[in-house]
Structure 1
Amino acid sequence: MADITRINTVTEYNHLVGQETLHPLVSVIDFAKTEPFCFFRRQLGLYAIFLKESMCGNMTYGGGTYDYEEGTMVFIAPGQVYGVESPTPQKGIGQALVFHPDLVHGTALGRNLKEYTFFSYEVNEALHLSLRERAIINDCFDKISFELQHAIDAHSKTLIVSYIELLLNYCKRFYDRQFITRNPVNKDLLARFEKVVDDYFASSQAIDMGLPSVRYCADKLFISANYLGDLLKRETGKSAQEHIQLKMIEAAKEKMYIPGKSISEVAYELGFKHPQHFTRMFKKNTGLSPNEFRHMN
Structure 2
Amino acid sequence: MENLVRFDNVNQYNQYNKNETLHPLINVVDLSKADPRTHRRQYFGLYTIFLKEIKCGDLRYGCNYYDYEEGTLVFLAPGQIIGIENPEKFQPQGTALVFHPDFIRGTSLGRHIQEYNFFSYEVHEALHLSQAERELIRDCLNKIQQELQHAIDKHSKTLIVNNIELMLNYCTRFYDRQFITRETANKGILERFEALLNGYFESDKPRTEGLPTVAYCAEQLHLSPNYFGDLIKKETGRTALEHIQAKVMDMAKERIFEPGKSLSEIAYGLGFKYPQHFTRLFKQRTGQTPQEYRSLN
> Which one-letter code corresponds to 2:285 in the other structure?
N
The equivalences for 1:86-235 within 5 A come to: 86-235=86-235
The residue that corresponds to 1:74 in the other structure is: 74
Q: Is the 8 A contact 1:14 1:21 kept in 2?
A: yes
Q: Is the 8 A contact 1:54 1:68 kept in 2?
A: no
> Which one-letter code corresponds to 1:251 in the other structure?
M
Q: Is the 8 A contact 2:123 2:224 kept in 1?
A: no
The residue that corresponds to 1:54 in the other structure is: 54
3-state SS of paired residue (1:50): strand
Equivalent-residue separation in structure 1 for 2:162 and 2:76 (angstroms)? 19
The residue that corresponds to 2:27 in the other structure is: 27
| CA RMSD, Structure 1 to Structure 2 (Å) | 1.3
3-state SS of paired residue (1:98): strand
The residue that corresponds to 2:246 in the other structure is: 246
TM-score (norm 1): 0.97
Question: Does 1:255 find its partner at 2:255?
Answer: yes
Amino-acid identity (%): 58
3-state SS of paired residue (2:85): strand
The residue that corresponds to 1:288 in the other structure is: 288
Shift of 1:176: 0.4
The equivalences for 1:1-20 within 5 A come to: 3-20=3-20
3-state SS of paired residue (2:168): helix
Q: Is the 8 A contact 2:6 2:43 kept in 1?
A: yes
Q: Is the 8 A contact 1:268 1:275 kept in 2?
A: yes
Shift of 1:93: 2.7
Q: Deviations over 1:40-73 (max 9, x none)?
A: 1111111100000102331011221135311011
3-state SS of paired residue (1:261): coil
Shift of 1:16: 1.4
Equivalent-residue separation in structure 2 for 1:85 and 1:169 (angstroms)? 32
Structure 2: runs of 5+ lacking an equivalent: none
Equivalent-residue separation in structure 2 for 1:73 and 1:231 (angstroms)? 18
Normalized per residue, which structure has more strand?
A: 1
The residue that corresponds to 1:265 in the other structure is: 265
Q: Which runs of 4+ in 1 moved over 6 A?
A: none
Judged with a 3 Å threshold, the aligned counterparts in structure 2 of structure 1 residues 2 and 134 are, in CA distance, closer, same or farther, namely farther
Equivalent-residue separation in structure 2 for 1:56 and 1:221 (angstroms)? 26
Higher alpha-carbon deviation: 88-97 or 249-258: 88-97
3-state SS of paired residue (2:86): strand
Equivalent-residue separation in structure 2 for 1:123 and 1:98 (angstroms)? 20
Higher alpha-carbon deviation: 176-185 or 270-279: 270-279
Q: Is the 8 A contact 2:264 2:275 kept in 1?
A: yes
Judged with a 3 Å threshold, the aligned counterparts in structure 2 of structure 1 residues 19 and 165 are, in CA distance, closer, same or farther, namely same
Q: Is the 8 A contact 1:46 1:99 kept in 2?
A: yes
Q: Deviations over 1:180-207 (max 9, x none)?
A: 0011111110110111112111111111
Equivalent-residue separation in structure 1 for 2:56 and 2:38 (angstroms)? 9
3-state SS of paired residue (2:66): strand
Equivalent-residue separation in structure 1 for 2:42 and 2:181 (angstroms)? 32
3-state SS of paired residue (2:65): strand
Equivalent-residue separation in structure 1 for 2:248 and 2:33 (angstroms)? 54
TM-score (norm 2): 0.97
> Which one-letter code corresponds to 2:91 in the other structure?
K
Q: Is the 8 A contact 1:54 1:92 kept in 2?
A: no
3-state SS of paired residue (1:124): coil
Equivalent-residue separation in structure 1 for 2:235 and 2:249 (angstroms)? 21
Equivalent-residue separation in structure 1 for 2:265 and 2:57 (angstroms)? 55
Q: Is the 8 A contact 2:57 2:68 kept in 1?
A: yes
